[in-house]
């Protein structure tokens, strides 16, 4: 059975948190292990660190401030994030970035928090996991100043257009693809673009509990997306790219291990 890593699981503060034991075991039964838990605020990142300590090697986490929480970034945030980032099991800075779709935080504060976290990732020599929605121009302009110095840069849940894809490839980003690609209503453009993502730059994720793949049959009874569904997303992407399920899963797994500094359970490609 192929191995998979779910690079984006919204566990802390979500409906999945109450079923953590079952979530991990069900995912592992489908070859999905470990899981990368997302830290979306400093408080949530602290909670995620406490959570993953109970599941060594099964869970890892990021630590950062999502643009929705950027208004919380203040003079104490940098030092606190440094302390969080140095805790065992923290594998990246983030989720950070820009979100001009919902604008839950003022855009100037989003840009301030994003830039501060990029600078910190450079300082700590850690990769960064990022979010961008309807903010491509500002996102790329800020990122390009730091990209040459970043250990690694991952834009998770990529759903952009061809122009943004080409720009992100030019910036040498890793791109995370979700079950959005399985949505016949909204995911058609992504389904066309996914073939053009360089093999060494693609990763896969559920972004659970969100974005349940619409094309799954039989359809799960619950609308909650779960890491155990990652192999289905992987198969869909492999078919779109004209690759075998095994070869694509192996490549995505290897990419994720290399990016997050995790030990693979088999030899690299």
Residue stretches of the annotated binding site: 95, 131, 156, 207
**Interatomic CA distance for residues 52 and 30, integer angstroms:** 20
Residues 6+ apart with CB under 8 A from 104: 67, 68, 69, 71
Q: Provide the angle, in degrees to the nearest 10, between the axes of the packed helices 162-170 and 136-146.
A: 10
Within 8 A by CB and 6+ apart from 54, the residues are: none
Binding site for a divalent metal cation, by residue number, is: 95, 131, 156, 207
Please state the φ and ψ torsions of residue 34, each to the nearest 5 degrees.
Answer: -85, 180
Helices assigned H by DSSP within 53-161: 77-85, 107-124, 136-146
Please give the backbone phi and psi of residue 98, each rounded to the nearest 5 degrees, phi first: -135, 140
C-alpha gyration radius of the chain? 17
**By C-alpha distance, which of 182, 141, 145, 137 is closest to 161?**
137
Distance between CA 85 and CA 89 in Å, rounded?
9
């Amino acid at each position: 059975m192929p191995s998979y890593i779910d690079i984006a699981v919204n566990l802390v503060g979500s409906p999945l948190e109450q079923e953590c034991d079952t979530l991990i075991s069900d995912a592992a039964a489908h070859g999905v292990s470990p899981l990368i838990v997302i830290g979306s605020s400093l408080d949530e990142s602290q909670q995620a660190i406490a959570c993953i300590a109970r599941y060594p090697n099964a869970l890892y986490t990021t630590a950062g401030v999502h643009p929705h929480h950027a208004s919380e970034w203040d003079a104490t945030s940098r030092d606190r994030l440094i302390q969080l980032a140095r805790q065992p099991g923290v594998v990246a800075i983030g989720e950070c970035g820009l979100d001009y779709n919902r604008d839950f935080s003022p855009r100037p504060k989003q840009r301030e928090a994003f830039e501060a976290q990029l600078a910190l990732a450079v300082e700590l020599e850690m990769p960064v996991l990022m979010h961008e929605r309807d903010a491509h121009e500002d996102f790329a302009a800020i990122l390009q100043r730091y990209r040459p110095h970043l250990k690694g840069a991952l834009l998770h849940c990529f759903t952009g257009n061809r122009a943004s894809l080409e720009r992100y490839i030019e910036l040498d980003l890793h791109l995370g693809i979700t079950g959005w690609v399985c949505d016949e209503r909204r995911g058609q453009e992504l389904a066309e673009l996914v073939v053009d993502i360089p093999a060494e730059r693609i990763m896969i994720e559920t972004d659970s509990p969100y974005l349940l793949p619409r094309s799954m049959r039989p359809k799960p009874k619950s609308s909650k997306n779960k890491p155990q569904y990652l192999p289905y997303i992987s198969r869909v992407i492999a078919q779109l790219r004209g690759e075998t399920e095994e070869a694509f899963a192996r490549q995505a797994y290897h990419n994720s291990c290399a990016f997050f500094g995790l030990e693979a359970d088999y030899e690299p490609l």
